[in-house]
Amino acid sequence: MQETKQTRVRYLILFMLFLVTTINYADRATISIAGSSLQKDLGIDAISLGYIFSAFGWAYVIGQIPGGWLLDRFGSKKVYAAGIFLWSVFTMMQGWVGEFGTGTIVLALFALRMLVGLAEAPSFPGNARIVAAWFPTKERGTASAVFNSAQYFATVLFAPMMGAIVYHLGWQHVFVVMGGLGIVISGIWWVTIYGPKEHPRANAAEVQYIAEGGGLVDLDRPNEKKDTGPKWSYIGQLLSNRMMAGIYLGQFCINALTYFFLTWFPVYLVQERGMTILKAGFVASLPAVCGFIGGVLGGVISDWLLRRGKSLSVARKVPIVGGMLLSMSMMLCNYVDADWMVVGFMALAFFGKGIGALGWAVMADTAPKQIAGLSGGLFNMIGNISSITTPIIIGYIIATTGSFKMALVFVGVNAFVAAFSYLFIVGDIKRITLKGVKDDEAADGGNVEAAAR
């Protein structure tokens, strides 16, 4: 009997992306929650802490192009599973850095944070590949927003818990608990994730629906011949494209906001606003709730605009530009004293940042089919250079001025530049056609886009 009712396995896949990305960001944030206590116990100054915060970013950026190529070469399931397991092990190991001598603690922390960054490098390009494979164009904005909103959910769920662990048990236990949880999740990933055509619970009707809507259902075909290495000429084409240049600049600036919240924000609450780490953990979760709501809402608004007949460019740009302008409200924290007002403005900034964080939806819309992982890796590499620069710059600002006031201005200006880039540099958002691609490959990609339209 022929199956007619469409399954909904793609939503299970999306749930797994959301779950894994939540753990991903929680593991990134362990150092910020533990940072103030760790700094006090181990005698680390603000500049050194800024460099430790940045260590993740150095390796994460370096690993993007190799990570993207590994995804294209071996598929999302295998590479991502290995990444989850390894970054969890390296997170757990940070709980024992206190056993090192005073002179090597900073070096040990820096090295372990780099290893976490290297292991996490394929994660977001992997997310983008899986969304491109499992979701039609008209659902892709919401799907990308859902997994991207996990960064806020991670704070909502884990910041209070990690703050309580630090307060009651000590900073070391945060790393052990979160690392152990990630190892468990890596096993769940392995038995859950497949491509659309290989998943045992997805029927032909769902696969057909995804394919006809522009989903790249053959992205990880088991018997498909894989490339032997990165196509550097393709990377050159991406870098020389004005649309992509604007998207890269926008993502760099959006991530400056992300890494302020992931690194210095809890320290800001403790050192600038005089909160205990226990209170800071709970307070940090309140703006994150708004970020989570905004993150989901941004994708819903974008896909709603598409269904209303608006162009892809309008549908993606309206939430991004509006959200970034709203994020600039964090600078108002410099002019208020009451804690509830600080929380309110940060919540508004988080909400705007969530609405505007549609970079990965744009990436899924624009990446050439033949190098979906590699192009996602390049996008994430450039965007996450700010994961290096933002913590270090803020560390120097604090050391020089003795306060966070100019740090908030610095982050707010990044939000403005992101909005400017999407308004005046990006132009029309559309999938890139690579030069030098075989005719059958180009036709295949063209057919997919025609189906999407």
Mean pLDDT rounded to a whole number for the chain: 81
* Tokens linked to 281: 């953990």
Per-residue pLDDT band for 440 (boundaries 50, 70, 90) equals very low
- The string of pLDDT tens digits covering residues 332-350 is 988 988 878 888 898 899 8
Residue 101 belongs to some domain of the structure: yes
Region 289-305: mean pLDDT is 87
Residue 305 belongs to some domain of the structure: yes
Residue 263 belongs to some domain of the structure: yes
Residue 124 belongs to some domain of the structure: yes
Per-residue pLDDT at 94 exceeds 50:
yes
Residue 381 belongs to some domain of the structure: yes
* pLDDT reported for residue 34: 74
DSSP for 307-325, please give it.
Answer: HTT--HHHHHHHHHHHHHH
SS (H, E, C) 76-110: HHHHHHHHHHHHHHHHHHHHHHHHCCHHHHHHHHH
Residue 200 belongs to some domain of the structure: yes
Question: Which range of residues forms the domain containing residue 233?
Answer: 9-214+228-452
- The string of pLDDT tens digits covering residues 27-84 is 877 777 776 677 676 667 777 777 777 788 888 888 888 887 888 788 888 899 999 9
Per-residue pLDDT band for 423 (boundaries 50, 70, 90) equals very high
- The string of pLDDT tens digits covering residues 355-413 is 998 887 888 788 887 777 778 778 888 988 888 888 889 888 988 888 888 999 999 99
DSSP for 53-67, please give it.
Answer: HHHHHHHHHHTHHHH
**Burial group, residue 30, by CB count within 10 angstroms (0-12, 13-18, 19+):** buried
Task: Pick from 3-17, 202-216, 303-317 the range whose average pLDDT is largest.
Answer: 303-317
Which residue type is seen at 177?
Answer: V
* pLDDT reported for residue 29: 73
Residue 221 belongs to some domain of the structure: no
- The string of pLDDT tens digits covering residues 150-177 is 877 887 788 778 878 877 887 778 888 8
Structurally, how many domains does the chain consist of?
Answer: 1
* pLDDT reported for residue 277: 62
Residue 3 belongs to some domain of the structure: no
Give the residue from 62, 91, 65, 55 showing the smallest Cα distance to 388. 55
* pLDDT reported for residue 98: 65
Residue scoring higher pLDDT (138 or 436): 138
As a whole-number percent, the residues of the chain with pLDDT over 70 amount to 87
Q: Which of 107-111, 209-213, 389-393, 448-452 has the lowest mean pLDDT?
A: 448-452
In the chain, what's the furthest Cα-to-Cα distance? 73
What CATH number does the domain containing 239 carry? 1.20.1250.20
Say which residue the tokens 């939503």 belong to: 11
